[in-house]
Amino acid sequence: MKSELFTYDIDEKALDLAKQNDGKLLLIANAQDLTPQEVIDRYKSLADIERGFRVLKSELEIGPVHHRLPERIRAHAAFCFMALILYRVMRMRLRASESSLSPERALEVLRRVQRHLIRLDDATDPVTGISTMTLKQTDLFKALKIRKPLSAQG
């Protein structure tokens, strides 16, 4: 088409290519030793890693900490990694037991379980105990395959 102020041409080859790829996600990789399926698998695992970081920031509430020393940076990263692994194991066990609770909600319920330690007068050994557990808390320990804390002394 032409106009006095504006002209353009349509590149039919480019338009056909755009139509073929419309609605598709193209993955481009420079790793020549990977098969197309391996590229797809790596991309999917990247999405899983990103979900893990979202969990760390939101559900586990691990905020940014500014370290300078390499050993502290490594320790912080290790704690974050362990927290994420525990979260995922918890999610997996809750699903396997067909619990309707999310890991966040399960932690809320279990957070109410308390261990008490009381030292009476001059007694050398303290008296310890666990708060009375609800049926829901007891069921959660079973679902998570975690031994219920003992209320006995010691």
| pLDDT tens by residue, 133-145 | 899 999 999 999 9
Write down the pTM of the prediction.
0.57
Residue range 115-130, pLDDT digits in tens: 888 888 877 788 888 8
Q: How far apart are CA 54 and CA 131, in angstroms?
A: 33
Q: How far apart are CA 27 and CA 36, in angstroms?
A: 9
Residue range 4-50, pLDDT digits in tens: 788 888 999 999 998 988 988 888 888 889 998 998 888 888 877 78
